[in-house]
């Protein structure tokens, strides 16, 4: 009976240890990301972090707008820990009060981030940065005897009638292009809309999404448009005859943003995930996989990538920054104004 008692106690202790280990392994941090290649790269990039911290990082897939809309809807009982997006969706979440401040004690890598990457008075941070500018179809330009584009104004130049591709202004790239066409400030967007509307007989169609725009660019359906540098570089690497151009007025500096949800289910580990995404090992992977620029110092950017239009973290002053808080309030109204004017 004594041996049975010992065995029983051992079983209880063993069961308790198994339960304890299982409980530790069950801690899961949920990141609202973008799916597809983004998720594949993030899973690979965070694998060492998961092992080192005995934690599982799970992803939910959606667009920037999807991610912040979901987080706002669940603000009273958040079901995600880290929300990814871009400047305007970050500003939307910030206004809704769904983010908590980043803790420098838990995110020491925050100190290495370039100034413009730090957003919302310490509430958000960029994880990668890209330049938004023009691209053109090199083969078609050469065949037509056209010089490469140099200015945002080339998007409404009559010599390029029926050669320009436009996207719906619900796509941030297109909305920023309207700003640059109008003069370069948020208050200039109505003037930019007027310029495009005056040019609308030279525009065959307005693409409903960035994905459709990329698809049509590869097919050569138009010869000039607006995209981020890394998309153009990646397409060119796959054989598409496309080249990125930073307009003389300046390219737009855009970030993929991160923020921790207020009342996150795993607040400490969520902050640590942000810190890991700002680490040199992950930032270097982002450069390799996405052709994007890192946001922290200490990560090398290939000179060829900078020459192709990628922002240099050592000198971002020549790029035009985006203040989502200034652009967001009028975006829905101005987007509707653009759509109505183009349909008339």
* Residues 334 and 221 both lie in one domain: yes
Asked if pLDDT for residue 203 goes beyond 90, the answer is yes
Q: Which tokens in the block code for residue 35?
A: 């799916």
Residue 114 lies in a domain: yes
Ramachandran area for residue 255 (φ above 0: left; ψ -120 to 50: alpha; else beta): beta
Are the beta carbons of 156 and 193 closer than 8 angstroms? no
* Residues 91 and 174 both lie in one domain: no
pLDDT digits (tens, 9 = 90+) for 21-48: 544 554 899 999 998 888 999 999 999 9
CA dist., res. 48 & res. 59, Å (int): 16
Residue 240 lies in a domain: yes
CB atoms within 10 A of CB 89: 24
* Residues 288 and 233 both lie in one domain: no
CA dist., res. 242 & res. 250, Å (int): 19
Residue-range definition of the domain harbouring residue 30 = 2-129+254-313
* Residues 209 and 328 both lie in one domain: yes
Residue 318 lies in a domain: no
Residue 162 lies in a domain: yes
* Residues 200 and 121 both lie in one domain: no
Residue 103 lies in a domain: yes
CA dist., res. 295 & res. 322, Å (int): 15
In this structure, is the dihedral angle defined by the CA atoms of residues 201, 219, 166 and 146, taken in order, positive or negative?
Answer: negative
* Residues 198 and 333 both lie in one domain: yes
* Residues 248 and 263 both lie in one domain: no
Compute the average pLDDT of residues 152-160: 98
Residue 245 lies in a domain: yes
* Residues 333 and 194 both lie in one domain: yes
Residue 112 lies in a domain: yes
pLDDT, the chain, mean: 91
Q: Which tokens in the block code for residue 150?
A: 């140099």
* Residues 213 and 329 both lie in one domain: yes
Compute the average pLDDT of residues 168-194: 96
* Residues 172 and 114 both lie in one domain: no
Which percentage of the chain shows pLDDT scores above 70?
Answer: 92
Are the beta carbons of 52 and 287 closer than 8 angstroms? no
Q: How many domains does the chain have?
A: 2
> What count of residues does the chain have?
344
* Residues 243 and 265 both lie in one domain: no
* Residues 288 and 335 both lie in one domain: no
Residue 329 lies in a domain: yes
pLDDT digits (tens, 9 = 90+) for 64-105: 888 999 999 999 999 999 999 999 999 999 999 999 999 999
Q: Read off the CATH number of the domain in which 112 is found.
A: 3.40.190.10
């Amino acid at each position: 009976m004594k041996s049975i008692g010992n065995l029983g106690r051992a079983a209880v202790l063993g069961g308790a240890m198994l339960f304890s280990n299982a409980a530790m392994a069950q801690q899961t941090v949920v990141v609202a990301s973008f799916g597809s290649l983004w998720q594949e790269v993030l899973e690979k990039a965070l694998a060492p972090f998961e092992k080192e911290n005995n934690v599982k990082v799970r992803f939910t897939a959606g667009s920037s707008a999807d991610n912040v809309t979901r987080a706002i809807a669940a603000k009273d009982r958040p079901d995600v820990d880290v929300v990814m997006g871009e400047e305007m969706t970050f500003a939307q979440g910030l206004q809704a009060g769904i983010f908590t401040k980043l803790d420098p004690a838990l995110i020491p890598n925050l100190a290495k981030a370039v100034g413009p990457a730090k957003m919302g008075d310490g509430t958000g941070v960029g994880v990668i940065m890209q330049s938004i500018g023009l691209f053109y179809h090199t083969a078609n330009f050469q065949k037509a005897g056209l010089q490469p584009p140099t200015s945002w104004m080339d998007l409404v130049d009559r010599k390029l009638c029926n050669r320009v591709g436009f996207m719906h202004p619900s796509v941030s790239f297109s909305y920023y292009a309207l700003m640059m066409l109008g003069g370069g400030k948020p208050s200039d967007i109505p003037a930019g809309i007027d310029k495009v509307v005056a040019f609308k007989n030279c525009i065959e169609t307005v693409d409903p999404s960035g994905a459709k725009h990329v698809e049509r660019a590869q097919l050569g359906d138009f010869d000039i448009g607006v995209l981020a540098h890394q998309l153009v570089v990646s397409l060119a690497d796959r054989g598409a005859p496309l080249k990125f151009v930073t307009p003389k007025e300046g390219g737009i500096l855009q970030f993929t943003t991160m923020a921790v949800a207020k009342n996150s289910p795993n607040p400490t580990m969520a902050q640590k995930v942000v810190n890991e995404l700002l680490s040199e090992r992950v930032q270097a992977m982002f450069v390799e996989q996405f052709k994007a620029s890192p946001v922290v110092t200490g990560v090398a950017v290939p000179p060829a990538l900078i020459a192709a239009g990628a922002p240099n973290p050592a000198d971002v002053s020549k790029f035009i920054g985006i203040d989502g808080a200034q652009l967001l309030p009028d975006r829905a109204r101005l987007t509707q104004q653009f759509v109505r004017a183009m349909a008339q």
